[in-house]
Amino acid sequence: MFQRYIFVTGGAGFVGSHLVIHLVEKYPEYYIVNYDKLNYCSSLKPLEYLRTKPNYKFILGDICDPQTVYNTLKKNNIDTILHLAAESHVDLSFENPLEFSLTNVYGSHVLINAAKELNIKLFFHMSTDEIYGGAHNEICCEESSFQPSNPYAATKAAAECIVMSYWRTYKLPVVMIRANNIYGPHQYPDKVVPRFISRLLQNKKCTIHGDGQKVRNFINVSDIVNAIDTLIHKGKHGEIYNIGSDFSISILELAKFLIKKYFKLDGRQKNLGKLELKKQLNGTKRPSMARFGKTKI
C-alpha cells in the first residue's frame, strides 16, 4: 500500500526522466508509473537502475489511446497525473503539425477526460512560455495573452484551454506550469544546448540559422523538477505558474560561450572558427522568448 499513486506521462523524455528519478528516490512511499510511447527522443537508459525499485513501473503506451489510458489508470489505482508527454521540438512542428496536434491537443484531452471519469485527485499539466509567443522580449506574467507563433506553441496553448476548462467546468483539481527553455543532462540533441555541445564534441561547427540575436531564457532541469515537486504538494488548484529564470542569452552568445568553454579559452582569446551563421530557414523564424515577471512561488 502506497500513500500516492502517480502516473507520469513522457517519463522517458528529457524532463520526465529527471522527474521520475527524483520522485522514485525521494518518495519511497509513492508509487510511480512511467507511461511513455518511447519516440525518437526518449531513452530508458537513465531509468534502468530504477527497475528493481518496488515503487516504480514503466508502461509502454500512447496517451492518444483512450481505452488503454483509462484501463491503465484504473488498474494502477492512480490518484495523481503528471502530464509531460508531448511532441516538443518547435522546428519539427513546422514539418509535422498534425502529429503535434494529435499528441499535444488530443492526447492531453484523452488524459484529462480519463482523469475526470476516475475522480483523479490532481492533474498536473506541463506547458511552455512559447504560448506567449515571446512578443518582442516583453515581460510576461501568467495573465499575459496567448500569442503562439509556431505550430508547437499553438498546440500547447490549445491543450491549456482544454485542461483549464475541466477545472472551470468540473472543478477537476488542476495545477499547471509554463516553463522557459530547459537544459540539462541527457537532453536529446535536437535542442540548442545539447546540439551545440554534441557538434563541438564531433569537431563540427555550431550552426545558427539567422543572426543569432534572438534572446532566450534558460532554466536548469533540476530547478524545474524542484518546482514540480513543490507544486504537486503545495500548488493551488486552478492556478498556472510561470517557472523561469532571469538568465537570458542570445543564441550567438550561447554558442560563443560553449565554444570558449569547450576549448578552455580565456576571455581574451578568440577562436570562433567553430561558429557558422547560415541564412534563416524559411518558415522557422522564431521570435525572442518570453521573460517572466515575479512568479507566485
Ligand X SMILES: NC(=O)c1ccc[n+]([C@@H]2O[C@H](COP(=O)([O-])OP(=O)(O)OC[C@H]3O[C@@H](n4cnc5c(N)ncnc54)[C@H](O)[C@@H]3O)[C@@H](O)[C@H]2O)c1
User: Catalytic residue numbers?
Assistant: 129-130, 152
Smallest gap from residue 14 Cβ to ligand X (A): 4
Pick out residues in 223-252 that bind ligand X (CB under 6 A). Answer: none
Pick out residues in 126-155 that bind ligand X (CB under 6 A). Answer: 126, 128
Smallest gap from residue 115 Cβ to ligand X (A): 15
Smallest gap from residue 268 Cβ to ligand X (A): 33
The reply on whether position 36 binds ligand X by CB under 6 A is yes
Q: In whole angstroms, what is the distance from residue 123 CA to residue 182 CA? A: 22
H helix or E strand, kind and range, residue 57: strand 56-60
Q: In whole angstroms, what is the distance from residue 78 CA to residue 2 CA? A: 11
Choice between 134 and 205, CB closer to ligand X = 134
The reply on whether position 108 binds ligand X by CB under 6 A is no
Q: In whole angstroms, what is the distance from residue 86 CA to residue 126 CA? A: 9
Stretch that binds ligand X, among 51-59, 174-182, 194-202, 288-296 (CB under 6 A): 174-182
The reply on whether position 21 binds ligand X by CB under 6 A is no
Nearest residue to the partner ligand X, using Cβ: 13
CB 256 within 8 A of CB 194: no
**Long-range contacts formed by 169-173: CB under 8 A, 24+ apart:** 170/116, 171/237, 172/112, 172/115, 172/116, 172/120, 172/123, 173/120, 173/121, 173/122, 173/123, 173/237, 173/238
Q: Which of 86, 118, 103, 80 is nearest to 228 (CA)?
A: 80
Q: In whole angstroms, what is the distance from residue 275 CA to residue 259 CA? A: 8
Smallest gap from residue 267 Cβ to ligand X (A): 29
Print the binding letters for residues 185-224 with ligand X: x by CB under 6 A, - otherwise.
---x------------------------------------
Pick out residues in 83-102 that bind ligand X (CB under 6 A). Answer: 84-88
Which of 23, 82, 90, 182 touches ligand X by CB under 6 A? 182
Choice between 178 and 256, CB closer to ligand X = 178
Choice between 92 and 265, CB closer to ligand X = 92
Phi, psi of 59 (to 5 degrees): -125, 125
Choice between 120 and 163, CB closer to ligand X = 163
Which of 13, 184, 235, 244 touches ligand X by CB under 6 A? 13
Residue 192 C-alpha cell reads as 540548442
Give DSSP secondary structure letters for 179-201: E-EEE-TT--TTSHHHHHHHHHH
The one-character DSSP state at 271 is -
Site of interaction with ligand X (CB under 6 A): 9-10, 12-16, 36-39, 41-42, 62-64, 84-88, 103, 107, 126, 128, 156, 179, 181-182, 188
